[in-house]
């Protein structure tokens, strides 16, 4: 705490992992002897830089850019870039820390990192976004490389931004290094299913959790928060699996549509027109209601898939959700449930899939994109989706198996943290004091 003052989200993420891995440290004293915990909590490298850019009126703006290269024991640093006004070092470090264990859990050769900027893309023109991305990459490029550090998207960074970032990297370095960034467009080295992967993967993970309870998505009432990349493809896959998504949200409020969210309309409004969610209700007519400024978690559901941002489900929300019949929660976002919320769910016997496990499909598919780039190969959509589903099933199986092994049956949080930690810690031990 003294070493990282004010970084509250980072403290929260570290505390959650450390609370889970006590039994591992008890069983294997080597980790403590070699100070693995102290080492794993300290990023290998943190880069903070100035991002100057000019808006359409010629006014100059200065933002702050970040890249935290947290741990490369398993592979090159891998993790997204977030553009949102709330971004500061504490957020980037929490995301980077989570990413280490998530990436370990996938079983793929990727280390953990995260980055971003306090730039607010809302209301900015395409040209402004491009100029910002170019300026951001003009500093960041020197720290990246397919064997060093490979960013991707996150909040505020989608296909458009990845294109501008990759273009500037290519221009500055004079290298067509496809594997330096993931989430690329299909016309220039992107992989099938990467856009859909986090949302689809989360739905596959929850499907496994429901199977473990002897049930399925069929006919279930589902609420998904957010209306961005993760939320949209989560809704799409849940609908394909037979669930009815009755509500979703953005930072202005939420929309309830009892007949089920009209996905084409949602994609048009959020993805193409980049408008607020109220426009969905206006266009959908009497079937949908928009509720401004309130939390979507007041809408009762059987399955909850928070896919917007951190700490969106409080202890009070969780209590109301349990009373409303919620039986499973799969975190599409990173750390969307507060520690109190997690306690409420677990004590009530709700199957709780933490982000580290449930949303790992995005980064796993990024690793598949790197694999295709390295071999100059292109896989089909069907093949890639099958791979993603296998990975999510495997993560689910390992979470349960590890939780069982350490005497905490059904505890996905402990299973994910312990399995991810052991993979990274064992590699660190093998490499000596680095
Ligand atoms: P997007 O920017 O595409 O969408 C984010 C959505 O969440 C938007 O609807 C946004 O509303 C809403 N939102 C963001 N911040 C807030 C806030 N402070 N309060 C209320 N609503 C908010 O991001 P993604 O879908 O990519 O990311 C969503 C979550 O998933 C994040 O936690 C991210 O870290 C996590 N994640 C993403 C992965 C990916 O592959 N993209 C991989 C793994 C995890 P509005 O548009 O109004 O701001």
Q: Which atom of ligand 1 is nearest to the CA of 82?
A: 34
Task: Please identify which residue in the block is written with the tokens 């102290």.
Answer: 38
Q: Is 334 found in the same domain as 200?
A: yes
The boundaries of the domain holding residue 93 are 8-16+41-176
Identify whether 434 is part of a domain. Answer: no
Are the beta carbons of 175 and 148 closer than 8 angstroms?
no
Q: Which of 302, 322, 353 is the last residue of a domain?
A: 353
Q: Is 293 found in the same domain as 156?
A: no
Which residue among 155, 200, 225, 360 has the greatest number of ligand 1 atoms within 8 angstroms of its CB, and so is best to mutate? Answer: 155
Taking only Cα atoms into account, the Rg of the chain, rounded to an integer number of angstroms, comes to 21
**Six-digit token string for 148:** 């060093």
Identify whether 68 is part of a domain. Answer: yes
Q: Which of 353, 383, 409 is the last residue of a domain?
A: 353
Check which CATH number belongs to the domain holding 53 and give it: 3.40.50.10860
Cα(181) to ligand 1 centroid in Å equals 19
Q: DSSP letter at 141?
A: G
Cα(155) to ligand 1 centroid in Å equals 4
Query: How many structural domains comprise the chain?
Result: 2
pLDDT at 1: 72
Identify whether 308 is part of a domain. Answer: yes
Q: Which of 129, 145, 176 is the last residue of a domain?
A: 176
Identify whether 359 is part of a domain. Answer: no
pLDDT at 432: 96
Task: Please identify which residue in the block is written with the tokens 């004079």.
Answer: 174
Q: Is 204 found in the same domain as 60?
A: no
For ligand 1, atom 35, which residue shows the shortest CA distance? 333
Full DSSP string of 358-427: HTTHHHHHHHHHHHHHHTT----HHHHHHHHHHHHHHHHHHHHHHHHHTT-TT-HHHHHHHHHHHHHHHH
Q: Is 225 found in the same domain as 296?
A: yes
Cα(25) to ligand 1 centroid in Å equals 34
Q: Is 146 found in the same domain as 201?
A: no
CA atoms within 13 A on the CB side of 100: 30
Are the beta carbons of 64 and 48 closer than 8 angstroms?
yes
Q: Is 64 found in the same domain as 122?
A: yes
pLDDT at 285: 84
Identify whether 167 is part of a domain. Answer: yes
pLDDT at 383: 98
pLDDT at 286: 82
Active site residues: 114
Q: Is 220 found in the same domain as 295?
A: yes
Q: Is 168 found in the same domain as 227?
A: no
Identify whether 97 is part of a domain. Answer: yes
pLDDT at 174: 98
Q: Is 264 found in the same domain as 325?
A: yes
Check which CATH number belongs to the domain holding 251 and give it: 3.40.50.720
Give the mean pLDDT of the chain.
97
Identify whether 429 is part of a domain. Answer: no
Q: Is 260 found in the same domain as 168?
A: no
- ipTM of the assembly? 0.98
Identify whether 263 is part of a domain. Answer: yes
Question: What end-to-end distance do the CA atoms of the chain give, in Å?
Answer: 23
Tell how strand 112-117 and strand 77-83 pair up: parallel
pTM: 0.97
Cα(226) to ligand 1 centroid in Å equals 6
| Lining residues, ligand 1, CB within 6 Å | 153-156, 158, 198, 226-231, 250-252, 307-309, 332-334, 359, 362
Q: Is 329 found in the same domain as 214?
A: yes
Q: Is 240 found in the same domain as 93?
A: no
pLDDT-flagged residues of the chain (< 70) = none
Smallest CA-to-CA distance from 366 within 183, 147, 158 is with 183
């Amino acid at each position: 705490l003294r070493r990282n003052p004010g970084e509250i989200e980072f403290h929260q993420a570290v505390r959650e992992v450390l609370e889970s891995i006590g039994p591992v440290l008890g069983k294997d004293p080597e980790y403590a002897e070699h100070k693995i915990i102290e080492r794993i909590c300290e990023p290998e490298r943190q880069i903070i830089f100035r991002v100057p850019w000019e808006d359409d009126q010629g006014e100059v703006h200065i933002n702050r850019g970040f890249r935290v290269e947290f741990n490369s024991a398993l592979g090159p640093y891998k993790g997204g870039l977030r553009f949102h006004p709330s971004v500061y070092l504490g957020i980037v470090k929490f995301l980077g820390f989570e990413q280490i264990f998530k990436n370990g859990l996938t079983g793929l050769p990727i280390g953990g990192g995260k980055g971003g900027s306090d730039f607010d893309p809302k209301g900015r023109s395409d040209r402004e976004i491009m100029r910002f991305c170019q300026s951001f990459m003009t500093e960041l490029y020197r720290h990246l490389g397919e064997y060093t550090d490979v960013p991707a998207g996150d909040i505020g960074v989608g296909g458009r931004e990845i294109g501008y970032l990759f273009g500037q990297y290519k221009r500055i370095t004079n290298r067509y290094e496809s594997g330096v960034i993931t989430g690329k467009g299909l016309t220039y080295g992107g992989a099938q299913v990467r856009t859909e992967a986090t949302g689809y993967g989360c739905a596959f993970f929850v499907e496994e959790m429901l199977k473990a309870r002897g049930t399925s998505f069929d006919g279930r009432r589902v609420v998904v928060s957010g209306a961005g990349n993760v939320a949209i493809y989560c809704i799409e896959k849940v609908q394909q699996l037979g669930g009815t998504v009755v509500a979703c949200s953005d930072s202005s409020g939420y929309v309830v549509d009892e007949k089920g969210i009209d996905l084409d309309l949602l994609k048009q409004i959020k993805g193409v027109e980049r408008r607020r969610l109220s426009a969905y209700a206006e266009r959908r007519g009497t079937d949908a209601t928009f509720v401004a400024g309130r939390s979507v978690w007041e809408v009762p559901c059987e399955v909850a898939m928070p896919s917007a941002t951190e700490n969106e489900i409080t202890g009070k929300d969780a209590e109301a959700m349990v009373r409303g019949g919620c039986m499973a929660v799969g975190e599409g976002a990173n750390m969307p449930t507060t520690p109190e919320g997690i306690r409420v769910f677990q004590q009530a016997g709700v199957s709780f899939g933490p982000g580290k496990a449930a949303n790992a499909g995005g980064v796993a598919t990024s690793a598949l994109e790197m694999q295709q780039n390295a071999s100059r190969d292109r896989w089909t959509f069907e093949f890639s989706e099958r791979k993603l589903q296998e990975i999510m099933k495997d993560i689910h199986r390992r979470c349960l198996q590890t939780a069982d092994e350490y005497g905490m049956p059904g505890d996905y949080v402990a299973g994910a943290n312990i399995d991810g930690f052991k993979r990274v810690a064992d590699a660190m031990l093998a490499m000596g004091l680095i």
